[in-house]
Structure 1
């Protein structure tokens, strides 16, 4: 079958591209999505849910075999390799936007000026802002920074509808001297604010919902093929001419004038390397013929390093019937570390830590390095087998400044918990880790529902029993008093517990032609290859100070316009 464009991956970027490119009636578009479809009006309730914890832990929507290293990997000391962690990478139409936290923010204007300075010319803030506005339909604010006609509705849950835990955290932020900012996507400065979300009428607004609606799907020139896994790219010389895919188990070949990889920052570089595009030595080590030596493929993988400080939330202060949302409030602040720009840190107030009854009793500060300098992560092949998940090493905290700022942030948030407003509604603070035990109990099933119901009764019981139970069954290795009084213990906790926040990016970076580590040009075209582009978070020159979904949507809007202008 012949198409003008084949899009490999129906996630956030793929949904935008499919909608925009197929708007030209003679342009034939095929979307190959490995996961299930989510047809308009028939989305599973877990995906539609305003509370994201249900979809996020549902293995129906994941690449279930994908595991990653988050800590620094020492290749000289294989016995000291950190443990592999499951990584919840979306495998469903709409991609991450169908299961993520629905955060709809952009980052700092200077992030995109840095993109341009690093070689992505034409991607400065003033170049990108029109496409951010094109994405969104802001239900709360108007003006030069906001879009009103985009495919994705965005809104905020204002303070009058916050639960008591979120209101208490806001009081603590105010008491610490931070300003209240009504609009997270307004002027970039420090302060606390209602989190901006891609959500309308208490329902998720994914890229699939916004861009692949019923009207778009009726276009005769658009084919959406779900449960379709691309095995390999097809080439004639150095021109990509199509793909070979398994469509519900049956192998098929599709041809096109151009192929776009939109598989995310982990699977996109793996596709390139299996096709012979990447670091030549690494490819030869796996018996892969080198089509084009591109050393930057898979290199520079980034995420935002994060840790959590949790506490028991008293019954009267928990998430209530006003909204299913569990993260209502955020704090952007500056570490004031020399040479680091303002707004480099973020703390999200999480009023419910999981879908189950214990999760309803635990609130957290989720603290992350918004402006990270850890840029040594990488994606490599485990083998040439297309079914083998790649080797993923995020190498978080490879820059000491990231570790120092998480230590600083942990202690700052611990101080917030001591503020009168939070002290009244919380108890038993503890350093939290997203461990395998937490992951296992986070899987939605009858056994975990029963277990957590039993545990929750102990937690709502007498204070002495709750304290003993948390120390025995919840805390993993580090006590609150220990990390607050011992720098060595706090550093050890952070090194062990730090994870990313599922913002994988930068593994196929945009850059100048002469930059040996750049992979694509400023329109996503793969260097040295014809008929092949990359459009997803892997092309970011550096991860912005933002949740990555909206920067990904913006990038897809910008490049889709460039593609149409070039035809």
Structure 2
């Protein structure tokens, strides 16, 4: 090991949707020395490649961790795309800018996180956002992250026809999913301006912020594990053996990355760690409650006169299955043009993709080895309960029904993927389970909760139970997968922890 020459007051591991926010906010105090370590390249505020700025290009394998995962019982291996670049997955995602719902936060509160209600988090959603539309009660005008509500005139013909079909089927029209009501169909809000995806590194780690003498950002640094003196974190060691000392360590390496670092550091299920020759420091359920939204794509070729595919992201039906709990919206049907996505065909296509966004099943993340360059073992356990399978089947049938509606059929030339959607429920379920994908919203590998909760790894401010000077602040601490895309909620988490812990 070699000693770092830059001891930090706060060392942040991971510069993605949470880490970039934390680096910007914590370095606002000129007396606090902040060091940010990012495993992917750091492009600064001006050198992002065109592929990462183009919001119509979904995913970028040049900036991906390459994670493979078990999807479910008939999907033994599926890609789990995660951004490996400053800005993290916010630099490669589709740019959906939707918050978790008030009902999602009520569920957190029911599990003992009683200061994470929607009333508690709304000020931070407003603080991160700048948007010209919507009601002042719900929206921010001067935050770092541009959020733009797509207008009807922005939508492609296929997007518009999808909305029309859903309205004709009796679904309410939603003008603003970040307002008071989400149950219905409408255009997405996006963190995209003039076709440019606004990732957290662009909007938080600006040239002005990077000029602060107390902020240092390093790209291309993979962290192995946290170092301790007794139960106090003292820094980290990287994959090449370099030691970075710090008074405080914050893991913001994402749901897969932060959990893997904790496990390599000896924090996790003691039996699993001992089997890998890792000395257990804290027997906590790291990786035991992984959740993500199972996703199933039906992809149609576009009719000759309806081939517009920009913007890629268009419209959403957010609704409840017949088995949804009262107040829950457990299904998303997304109309998107999957341009450039590595797992999609090219050409004039539209996907009507179904996600079960409040799954009962949870998966697991474990280490394959102690080597920090070896991928963790990710098992999403999608559709792992009968209720999950029934609700997903209902969602796919709903998407198929919309595709056959007279408002939408003129836009579609034919079903491309899968080859067919059988009418028989058992056969259709087999098609679904054999063709699952990730929605890209993994959470809950280090959930927040009280010290006596059997699920909890961190407290309500991200502090790891039983340890000093060590926090996790990213989507891994979300206690249950929210019924929404997760990017804005992850940014909000970072904003709120930065404010409550470091500015008071």
Question: Does the CA-based 8 Å contact 2:447-2:478 persist in structure 1?
Answer: yes
Q: Deviations over 1:60-102 (max 9, x none)?
A: 21113x2111114xxxxxxxx8522232211100000000011
1:559 aligns with 2:497: yes
Unaligned runs of 5+ in 1: 73-80, 433-474
Q: 1:59 to 1:355 in 2, by over 3 A?
A: closer
> For the structure 1 residues 355 and 82, does the alpha-carbon distance in structure 2 shift closer, same or farther, using more than 3 Å as the test?
closer
**How many Å separate the matches in 2 of 1:514 and 1:172?**
49
Alpha-carbon deviations, 1:93-152, whole Å to 9, x = none? 000000001110012101001111112231111111111111110132231111111110
The separation in 1 between residues aligned to 2:161 and 2:78, in whole angstroms, is 33
| 1:293 partnered with 2:293 | no
The Cα offsets for residues 179-203 of structure 1, whole Å up to 9 and x where unpaired, read as 2211111122421111010111221
Q: Distance in 2 between matches of 1:514 and 1:135?
A: 32
Give the gaps of 5 or more residues in structure 2. Answer: 1-5
Given the alignment, which residue of 259, 263, 274 partners 2:249?
A: 259
SS in 2 for 1:359: coil
Give matches, 1:7-406, under 5 Å.
Answer: 7-53=12-58, 56=59, 58-64=60-66, 66-72=67-73, 83-245=76-238, 251-294=241-284, 296-319=285-308, 324-337=310-323, 339-352=325-338, 354=340, 358-375=345-362, 377-406=363-392
* Distance in 2 between residues matched to 1:161 and 1:283, nearest whole Å: 51
Match of 1:460?
A: none
- Of 36-45 and 525-534, more deviation after overlay is shown by 36-45
> Contact 1:32–1:226 at 8 Å: present in 2 too?
yes
RMSD (CA atoms): 1.7
Q: How much does 1:338 deviate? A: 5.5
Match of 1:516 in 2: 454
SS at match of 1:188: coil
CA shift, 1:431, in A, is: 4.7
Deviation at 1:370, TM superposition (A): 2.1
**Paired residue for 2:395?**
409
- Check 1:337–1:44 CA distance in 2 against 1; reply closer, same or farther (3 A cut): same
3-state secondary structure, aligned to 1:233: strand
SS for the counterpart of 2:334 is strand
**Mapped contact 2:276–2:370 kept (Cα < 8 A):** yes
Q: Is the 8 A contact 1:7 1:260 kept in 2?
A: yes
The CA distance in 2 between the partners of 1:410 and 1:355, in whole Å, is: 21
> Secondary structure of 2:492's partner?
helix
Deviation at 1:305, TM superposition (A): 1.3
Instruction: Please give the alpha-carbon distance, in whole angstroms, between the structure 1 residues aligned to 2:282 and 2:160.
Output: 55
* Alignment deviations for residues 315-337 of structure 1 (CA, whole Å, 9 cap, x no partner): 211225xxx32121111112132
- Separation in 2, partners of 1:168, 1:299: 42
* Pair 219,338 (structure 1): closer, same or farther in 2 beyond 3 Å: closer
Question: For residue 486 of structure 2, what is the aligned residue in structure 1?
Answer: 548
The CA distance in 2 between the partners of 1:100 and 1:342, in whole Å, is 25
Shift of 1:562: 1.9
* Pair 253,495 (structure 1): closer, same or farther in 2 beyond 3 Å: same
Deviations 1:224-275 (A, max 9, x none): 00011112221111111011225xxx64221111000001111111111111
* Equivalent residue, structure 2, for 1:440: none
The structure that has the greater radius of gyration is: 1
Tell me the distance in 2 between the aligned counterparts of 1:201 and 1:38.
Answer: 20
- Cα distance in 1 between the residues matched to 2:331 and 2:135: 27
Conserved? CA contact 1:142–1:148, under 8 Å:
no
Match of 1:75 in 2: none
8 A contact 1:510–1:540 mirrored in 2: yes
Once residues 161 and 245 of structure 1 are traced to their aligned partners in structure 2, the CA distance between those partners, rounded to angstroms, is: 45
Aligned equivalents of 2:222, 2:241: Cα separation in 1: 9
Give matches, 1:454-469, under 5 Å: none
> Distance between the aligned counterparts of 1:268 and 1:355, measured in 2?
26
Shift of the 244–2 alpha-carbon distance from structure 1 to 2, 3 Å rule, reads same
Shift of residue 353 of structure 1? 5.0
Q: Is the 8 A contact 2:128 2:143 kept in 1?
A: yes
Q: Measure, in 2, the Cα distance between the counterparts of 1:61 and 1:533.
A: 26
1:418-455 CA-partner distances (Å, limit 9, x unpaired):
211222121222553xxxxxxxxxxxxxxxxxxxxxxx
Stretch of structure 1 that moved more, 233-242 or 160-169: 160-169
TM-score relative to the length of structure 2:
0.95
Secondary structure class of the residue paired with 1:308:
strand
The answer to whether the Cα contact below 8 Å between 1:179 and 1:191 also exists between their aligned partners in 2 is: yes
The answer to whether the Cα contact below 8 Å between 2:151 and 2:187 also exists between their aligned partners in 1 is yes
Distance 1:59 1:365 in 2: 23
What is the rounded CA distance, in whole Å, between the counterparts of 1:494 and 1:281 in structure 2?
35
Q: Which one has the bigger helix percentage?
A: 1
Alignment pair present for 1:418 and 2:404: yes
